[in-house]
Structure 1
Amino acid sequence: MSKKLVDEMIEAMNKAEPAVFAIMDYWTFDGWFALKQRLSEGDAPKLTKKVFPGIELRLSAPTEKRLNAHVIFSDEIADQHLKDFLSNLKIERLDRSVSKDALVDLARSTAADMLAKKGHKREIVESDYADALLAGYKLAEVKTESYKRAIASVPNEFAIGFMPYDTSDGLIEVKWEQHYSYFIGLFESSPIFESRNLELRTAFLCEKTSTNHAWIDNFKHGLKGIPRLVVAGSDAHCFVGAAGNEDKRGYGDFPSGKKTWIKADPTFHGLKQAILEPGKRSFIGDKPPKVQEVESNKTFYIESIEVSKIGDKAGVGRWLHGCDIPLNLDLVAVIGNKGSGKSALADVIATLGNSKQSKHFSFLKKDRFWGKTGEPARHFTGTLTWRDESTESRPLNESPSEEKAELVRYIPQGYFEELCNEHVSGKSNAFEKELRSVIFSHASEEMRLGALDFDQLTEQQEQSLRNRLGEYRKELASTNASIVRIEEQLQPIELKKLTDLLLLKGKQIEEHDKLKPAEVAAPTEAMSLEQKQAAEGLAVANQQVEAARKRSQEIAGETTEIAKRQKAIGNIREQLRLLQRSFDQAEKVVSDDLKFLGFAWSDLAAIDIKTAILDEKSTELVTKQGQIKTEAEKLAEGLDAVTATQQGFTAKLNAPQQQYEAYQRQLEEWNAKRDELVGSITEPETKVGLETRIEQIKELPQQFKDLEARRLQLSGEIFDTLDAQRRARAELFKPVQNLIQKNVLIREDYRLQFQATLAASADAIADQLFALIKQTSGDFRGQDEALATVRGLFDGHELNTKDGAIAFIASLQEKVLAAAKAAGSDAGIFSVLKKGQLASAVYDLIFGLNFLEPRYSLLFQDTQIEQLSPGQRGALLLIFYLLVDNGKNPIILDQPEENLDNETVFRLLVPVLSEAKKQRQIIMVTHNPNLAVVCDAEQIIHAKFDRALDSTISYESGAIENTRLNEVVVTILEGTKPAFENRYGKYH
């Protein structure tokens, strides 16, 4: 090739879209040698792309059509090894090595009719070396076994053979049923196949689908279960193609747009890495999904991290100064020995990404890089550059302000433990909030109904249930108050007090009876006219006094009745006010819905509260009250006058008459006093009143029993309402559960399930209960014993069922009553109440089920999160965040394998990390080779700390197939080569 032609080739490669090229000449390496020669010359243009030497051959095959084969070589291969490769190929008819002379001899030994089929004339072939060589290229076929041996003989595994399968002159042309050994020999030995059929590519990856399930097992058997890399070459025959002309494709022109993408370093080692992980490392099509994802969401991907030292203050140290690392957009593994600066890098990225997990930082914290006063962190500035070219810079001694949006999700090991443990103990609802956030992110717009977050959504959906719950608990509080009042009256001391009072009242009546005035007989002697008139006047006055006193008593009764009626009117007014308020509140609640539907509230509901009749009645009572008040005042004045008249008449009587009159007055006063002591059922301090109260106490046990029954009924209704809330929330996680069902990994291997439960915590119940009652008696004697009692009851009942919940509160109430009885209470729980606490508050807690609430949780492999080990809980959270969380922010993981054995790492974390990196950027700090290697991390960052070198933290970055990083991985990750056995070939 001329220099000009080679220069044109270099220019075409540099301008074309692909990053890697392979020169595939038929039968020769002339193009490769020409390129190498030109690039070695001083005036050669610069080649910016990676180029591999290659060759296209034709194999001897049992097929009517020719069978092509390709070999690609490392660009580091020696020229002599390429020549040796050709010499190891044997031409079928001649049994000679491939050479130009051998090809010429092949053509000249071929019959004329065969030459004619290839477009050559025998006489010209005999006389023209060039024509004979061209004919030899067309006619030659190499022995298949020599092709295999030639590849195997190339030193350093610098040669890779690949076969076209269903593309031009591919292996599919061989009828494998008739030539099974030949077919399967090439099938098994080829690391790469060429195909543009995406379904066929799936089969070569050993993946079962709905369309290949009938034959994939046999296909995999032929591949010995080893997935193959499938490529679709451009098959360019000119440097620059002609648009729309498939016969004149140039560099970067791919048939049907089927481009081959390889995710690896553009090196031969990178190609070999793709062969090892073809499903993860290759794609055929316009753009891989992850590339499209990144291009559409540049604000969610970190481009690079940089740290620089500010100023030159002595004694500060270099630390992270000079750190400038481009970050891969898939999985980045940060490795290194303990104390090498792995977590330092994670903390810096997290704080610049405005993480809210600063309390879990292990490097950027006091007594570490912040010291006590921000030293030496204040002398360093970090800069995070995003894919959209936006940046975030900040001195490393500053935390992000609270109002800044969190751009990364940092999940350090401490956060795993805190989130899980506090969720299990009930001390925190942080995990519940995480679940709610994810559930809301998966909810459809139809389900959200305009709500901006989960709390708004549940507020909309559960308003009626919450109102119902409030009404039930309000009635329960009233019932508990009535129960407490009865318990107060059922105290033995209460009955004894009333009995003693009744005895005392009896004695008072007996003593009063002894004071009855001695009877005085009516005088019999004749009276003078004046005395007779006085006696008659006195009789009339006495009648007036008695009438006045009687009327005064009636007025007192009427006044009491009026007050009762006014109170009844007030009660009715208050209930009507509450009714109106509830009605108005209901209108406010549905106001947006009314506007949306175009309805007026008045079209749907109306309330007609008529207070006029109450006003009229109240006015009537006020008037009546005024009238009887005036009457009472006149009676009092009249009584005073009559009393004076009585005295005047009495003075005119003789001695016997005066004595009799005095006796009558005394008897009347005595009778009045006795009536006062005997009393009535409405006078509680009288004999009849006390007897009535004693009889009422005797009836209290039945009332108490009825109230207890109603209380349990209310608890059941409260449970039903809480369960209705739980069912409503279960509907909300259907979209995310459907997502899980579509993911085979989560559905079948992890069996991850969302669960809406009525959750409670024994410790939380104990905390609330023992804030109200003492821990000094019964099964509650002692803090540890009291807590153990509550935990025992809690573990012995299924609070997610109505029967279980009711049985639990009944058992708990029984324990509280027993403790109270042991402390001296014959009725109620007054003896165990803490100072200032009310028995009704204890009952409201227990029977109101205030400790029970609808909550979300996760089941992992059919096991409740509470029953998992700490390590398994961490794995569950990681699965949740990486596969279920709908967010796109980069995730930073700090040693996610902590507390997990190797088997769990392989079984749980490796698949989930491999799956998650398809959707988002993951930066993982780890010391475990099983994660960095088996997850096929796209980037390795090796951290190293040298205190002697001015406290320098340095980072070395590259792909796992990078020779230097490969050595580091083996050495640093506790990793001898046995750690790589499951992925043989990932190191060199």
Structure 2
Amino acid sequence: MLTRGSEWRRWEPHIHTPGTVLNNQFGGGGAWETYLSNIETRTPTIEALGVTDYYLTETYEQVLLHKDAGRIPNVSLIFPNIELRLSVAAKTGFVNMHLLVSPEDPDHVNEVRLLLTRLQFSAFGDVFDCTREGLVRLGRRVDAAAIDDRAALAIGATQFKVDFDQLRKVYEASEWAQANVLIAVAGAEGDGTSGIRQAADATMRQEIEKFAHIIFASSVAQREFWTGQRSVTVEELMRRYNGCKPCLHGSDAHDNATVGQPVQDRFTWIKGAVTFDALRQAYIDPAGRAFVALEPPKTAMPSQVIASVEIENAPWVSTPSIPLNAGLVAIIGARGSGKTALADMIAAGCDSVPPAVWEDEKGVSPSFLSRAKPLVGEGRVKLTRAADSVASRYLDGRDANNPFSYPSARYLSQQFVEDLCSAAGASEGLLHEIERVIFEAHPVEGREGALDFEALRGHRTHRFQLARGREVEAIGAISNRIADELEKEALLQSYDAQIKQKENLIAGYNADLAKLVVKGTEQQAQRHAALNTALQGRLTASQAYAAQRRTFVAMQDEVRRTKATKAPEILREVQSRHQNSGLSMTQWDEFLLVFKGDVDASLVGYLAWVDGEIAKIEGVPPVSPPPGVSMAPLIADDADLTAQTVAILRAEMGRLEGLISADTVVRNQYAALSKRIASENGALAALRKALEDAQGASERRKLLQVEREDAYDRLFSAVISEQQALVDLYAPLMARLAVATGTIRKLSLLVTRVVDAKSWADFAEEQLIDCRRAGPFYGRGSLVRRAEVELKPVWQTGTAADVRAAVSAFIHKYWKDLLAHAPYAPTEQEAFREWSKRFAHWVFGTDHIWVRYELAYDGIDIRKLSPGTRGIVLLLLYLALDDADDRPLIIDQPEENLDPQSVFVELVSLFINAKSKRQVIMVTHNANLVINTDADQVIVAQAGSHAAGGLPTIEYLSGGLEDAEIRRKVCDILEGGEDAFRERARRLRVRLKR
């Protein structure tokens, strides 16, 4: 037994024939020939026929005779549809009810006639049975002129009304009827329950619809109502109407023009084999098995559907060719029966077996193909798609995963699911799959040319990560400058002390100098002191120009390095960061950093100028007079000494030193002491300048701290922008989850800032502050406790301004305390500078803050879920969210690690929804996943004895749940057999309906 199981087929469940009791407009002559030809040629092809007549089965029996004669070969199922008129009034007549009779019982005609005799109509002081004779007799009582049986039958049929309560009692009293008859009622206004308008009859309407198994209706609104997709839920339908109902529609033809041509081409489609059991199955699963429309519901794309699997050169497979359904295929069987073997072989034909399976030489993998590799020989699997494409692969993997292969199915093997959902924590694989689904939720035009999630995320966040890097560099540079200012602030008292020391020292030197002056030369000494002062001023000016010159030379080096190395490297970095610009090398040249002016020429000019200024200050030494000739004064008494050159000043001072003392020793002492005084005065001037600079350090430091806070504000703005970019990246999936129904509603996606305040504080306590010192931060953990309370909440949810304010307040509050715990004093310049820089990087860093998305199930992050629940999340991804992937989905035992209730509650609806969009092939031991998902095809695997040194013989049979033999196999394998099933029900004290 090998069929594709349940497939959509066109049924005509309500059609009259020539000779129908009432309203027969088929005409005479060749009416039957026309009628049969119409059924044979209608499109879509009619495969099941519900032959309808009022109260009788005679026309049904005539159709059977034509079938036996070779007519309507396309029709595989013919069954009686006996139309009854209830005594309940509708809008334009009476409510019609139909008895759809299974033809499976060879004696069904006699049985249904016997059933009908129990329906009686009282009139004229008499009782009339629902039989041909009873109807004829009633017609003649109504119209005595109706001598012809045919005319009397028609009159009787118009008058005979079935009491609803009587019909219900007769049906419920008959085991045969309950097993072989399905009740249908018209849902239209004219002759259906919708026409029961009086408020007093509302209860009657509900009772009739509750009693019915099927509603004859063709509108979308009716179908959605009766399948729980409108205002009334499935639970409410169960309570009020005994459950959902399938809606069917027929042509209700009373003439040949409308045979098989329902109004607006509203054809009836039943999913299943062309058997009456398919109709019973449609009653059990109305939403999935009955449909009224021009075409049946869309399923997987034909190009993606595996239509059949053939196992070649494999004598151990006694069923080498297996047709596959396009919907949900359930593979069942006892342990070791070959279930996983079939799934593995199909996956191999789709190039979907992981390379690790083929590379497993020790047989560690649970894969059948891995363990059977040495035994499969020349075995091959050939897959034929519904679109007629064919793929063939060896079962030992020799031609697997070639450079041109592409997985044409997604295979969730047991090993794959275990790896992704291991108890050790949410693996990278699971997160990768989540990201893949998020990526594919974006339309192609919105992917910005990215090939995967990581690339798209890079596109969206790259600019903000660059911004973070720039601000981190800026904070470091500003922190260095702040450290400089802190050093200067710390040296204020030192500068004061040094200045006083210098002043005292110079005063002492001046007193010593006065003692060296020979009496009568006081005027020359005063002149010498004035010249010395002027000389120090000119030397200071010369030194300033010399410093300026060194700067110009350094700038020349900087310019050369920038042109030769720095600017080209910056351009290369920009090109690397923006590879998708599409700019040519010529266009990129425009982005090369160049100086605005001709800086080379400018710097040469600056050097020439500064050299000239230095030369002017230095001057040319005067020519010394001949021996024995006194040197005349070189500078007039009223001349501006500050305008003299260094050379002239020094020469004039030398002349005066000779006049001050004739004693060479004294003269040399005077000259040396004068130079010393000059030098100390220069040092004093430098100290006073440094003091002035240090006195402004506090204000400059405050401005720099504001600047650093501005940079931190921008840094955190980049963090928030990155977070928003991720929110936008995940928006398509988040929007879908927001409007989802069912199990998928338990999924939620959040983009959050994750803050590790402990690592932030631990770093400081380990490397920046001495927790052994007394103070607020004494002892390890004192800093983290404050950070958790004062900073972490705003880091997690605050705006950039909020974070800036909080960090600023934290620093202001604890700055002195943190300095007190610093391992270095500000006077330890080099060490303190390095510490200060590291301290600023720490305070204003964001390494402990990152943005991540959290996929939660039922409010719990997937990282904290059990392996079984992670498995549900994984299946949600593949079954409900992964719309972009329409390839077949092959799953080996999705129920692993799940309890039966979770399987029913969480997974069943997922499989039902998924099978309408893609082919799903599932290996399972769970009855819920076969029966409650209404599997379209069940493949039963059976293994024979295990041959020594070989593989056991494997046999497969298949069919749909409407097939009694398949249902028996399902019960035997998944429930332990009917006796075991009923024994469990007895022990649980559950009452089973037959």
Shorter-chain TM-score above 0.5:
yes
Report the residue type matching 1:434 in the other structure. Answer: R
Match of 1:21 in 2: 49
Matches within 5 A, 1:630-779: 660-661=663-664, 663-665=666-668, 667-669=670-672, 672=675, 680=683, 711-731=708-728, 733-745=730-742, 750=745, 752-759=747-754
Q: How big is the shift at 1:258?
A: 0.6
- When residues 924 and 946 of structure 1 are mapped into structure 2, their CA distance, relative to the original with a 3 A threshold, is same
Match of 1:228 in 2: 245
- When residues 8 and 357 of structure 1 are mapped into structure 2, their CA distance, relative to the original with a 3 A threshold, is same
- When residues 383 and 850 of structure 1 are mapped into structure 2, their CA distance, relative to the original with a 3 A threshold, is farther
Matches within 5 A, 1:385-396: 385-396=384-395
Report the residue type matching 2:52 in the other structure. Answer: M
Match of 1:951 in 2: 951
Q: Is 1:913 aligned to 2:916, yes or no?
A: no
Contact 1:6-1:38 within 8 A present in 2 as well = no
Q: How big is the shift at 1:411?
A: 4.6
Task: Determine which of 243, 258, 267 is the counterpart of 1:249.
Answer: 258
> How many residues of Structure 1 are paired with residues of Structure 2 in the alignment?
897
Q: Is 1:189 aligned to 2:198, yes or no?
A: no
- When residues 805 and 946 of structure 1 are mapped into structure 2, their CA distance, relative to the original with a 3 A threshold, is farther
Inter-partner Cα distance in structure 2 for 1:962 and 1:385 = 25
- When residues 327 and 481 of structure 1 are mapped into structure 2, their CA distance, relative to the original with a 3 A threshold, is farther
SS at 1:52 equivalent: strand
SS at 1:889 equivalent: coil
- When residues 226 and 523 of structure 1 are mapped into structure 2, their CA distance, relative to the original with a 3 A threshold, is closer
Q: How big is the shift at 1:275?
A: 0.1
Matches within 5 A, 1:834-873: 844=841, 847-861=844-858, 865=862, 870-873=867-870
Match of 2:281 in 1: 273
- When residues 166 and 876 of structure 1 are mapped into structure 2, their CA distance, relative to the original with a 3 A threshold, is same
Match of 1:478 in 2: 477
Inter-partner Cα distance in structure 2 for 1:656 and 1:184 = 138
Q: Is 1:78 aligned to 2:86, yes or no?
A: no
Match of 2:306 in 1: 302
Report the residue type matching 1:878 in the other structure. Answer: L
Contact 2:206-2:241 within 8 A present in 1 as well = no
Matches within 5 A, 1:469-548: 469-482=468-481
Long gaps (5+) in structure 1: 116-121, 238-245, 313-317, 525-535, 537-542, 650-654
CA-to-aligned-CA distance 1:522-564 (integer Å, 9 cap, x gap) = 799xxxxxxxxxxx9xxxxxx9999999988865553322222
Match of 2:293 in 1: 285
- When residues 845 and 71 of structure 1 are mapped into structure 2, their CA distance, relative to the original with a 3 A threshold, is farther
Q: How big is the shift at 1:279?
A: 1.8
Q: How big is the shift at 1:85?
A: 1.9
The TM-score normalised by the length of structure 1 is 0.70
Inter-partner Cα distance in structure 1 for 2:238 and 2:844 = 65
Contact 1:522-1:660 within 8 A present in 2 as well = no
SS at 1:290 equivalent: coil
Match of 1:92 in 2: 121
Long gaps (5+) in structure 2: 1-17, 19-28, 525-529, 632-657
Inter-partner Cα distance in structure 2 for 1:562 and 1:857 = 60
Contact 2:909-2:933 within 8 A present in 1 as well = yes
Task: Determine which of 106, 112, 115 is the counterpart of 2:144.
Answer: 112
Contact 2:768-2:822 within 8 A present in 1 as well = no
Q: Is 1:381 aligned to 2:407, yes or no?
A: no
Q: How big is the shift at 1:620?
A: 1.9
- When residues 182 and 474 of structure 1 are mapped into structure 2, their CA distance, relative to the original with a 3 A threshold, is closer
Bigger mean CA deviation after superposition, 868-877 or 784-793: 784-793
Contact 1:165-1:171 within 8 A present in 2 as well = yes
Match of 2:182 in 1: 160
Report the residue type matching 2:385 in the other structure. Answer: W
Contact 1:360-1:415 within 8 A present in 2 as well = no
Inter-partner Cα distance in structure 2 for 1:161 and 1:392 = 48
Bigger mean CA deviation after superposition, 14-23 or 670-679: 670-679
Contact 2:769-2:821 within 8 A present in 1 as well = no
Matches within 5 A, 1:73-472: 73-79=101-107, 81-90=108-117, 91-93=120-122, 95=127, 97-112=129-144, 115=146, 122=147, 125=148, 141=161, 144=164, 147-148=167-168, 151-152=171-172, 153=174, 155=176, 157-166=179-188, 169-173=191-195, 177=199, 183-209=205-231, 220=237, 223-236=240-253, 248-250=257-259, 252-291=260-299, 294=300, 297-309=301-313, 318=316, 324-337=321-334, 340-350=337-347, 352-355=349-352, 367-368=364-365, 369=367, 375-376=374-375, 379-396=378-395, 397=397, 399-401=400-402, 404-411=405-412, 415=417, 418=420, 430=432, 433-434=435-436, 436-441=438-443, 465=464, 468-472=467-471
Report the residue type matching 2:845 in the other structure. Answer: G
Match of 2:645 in 1: none
SS at 1:112 equivalent: coil
- When residues 342 and 790 of structure 1 are mapped into structure 2, their CA distance, relative to the original with a 3 A threshold, is farther
Contact 1:820-1:828 within 8 A present in 2 as well = no
The TM-score normalised by the length of structure 2 is 0.70
SS at 1:85 equivalent: helix
Contact 1:107-1:136 within 8 A present in 2 as well = yes
Inter-partner Cα distance in structure 2 for 1:818 and 1:236 = 96
Match of 2:603 in 1: 618
Match of 2:648 in 1: none
- When residues 591 and 791 of structure 1 are mapped into structure 2, their CA distance, relative to the original with a 3 A threshold, is closer
SS at 1:723 equivalent: helix
SS at 2:663 equivalent: helix
Report the residue type matching 2:306 in the other structure. Answer: I
Q: How big is the shift at 1:487?
A: 9.0
CA-to-aligned-CA distance 1:172-195 (integer Å, 9 cap, x gap) = 455664556765543322101211
Q: How big is the shift at 1:913?
A: 3.2
Q: How big is the shift at 1:908?
A: 3.2
Q: Is 1:972 aligned to 2:978, yes or no?
A: no
- When residues 647 and 897 of structure 1 are mapped into structure 2, their CA distance, relative to the original with a 3 A threshold, is farther
Inter-partner Cα distance in structure 1 for 2:130 and 2:840 = 98
- When residues 176 and 522 of structure 1 are mapped into structure 2, their CA distance, relative to the original with a 3 A threshold, is closer
SS at 2:121 equivalent: coil
Match of 2:886 in 1: 889
Inter-partner Cα distance in structure 2 for 1:643 and 1:385 = 119
Bigger mean CA deviation after superposition, 86-95 or 140-149: 140-149
Inter-partner Cα distance in structure 1 for 2:678 and 2:943 = 102
Inter-partner Cα distance in structure 2 for 1:985 and 1:265 = 30
Report the residue type matching 2:609 in the other structure. Answer: K
Q: Is 1:879 aligned to 2:906, yes or no?
A: no
Match of 2:9 in 1: none
Q: How big is the shift at 1:284?
A: 0.9
Contact 1:762-1:790 within 8 A present in 2 as well = yes
Inter-partner Cα distance in structure 1 for 2:310 and 2:439 = 32
Report the residue type matching 1:968 in the other structure. Answer: K
Inter-partner Cα distance in structure 2 for 1:830 and 1:416 = 58
- When residues 879 and 660 of structure 1 are mapped into structure 2, their CA distance, relative to the original with a 3 A threshold, is same
Q: How big is the shift at 1:330?
A: 2.7
Q: How big is the shift at 1:265?
A: 2.9
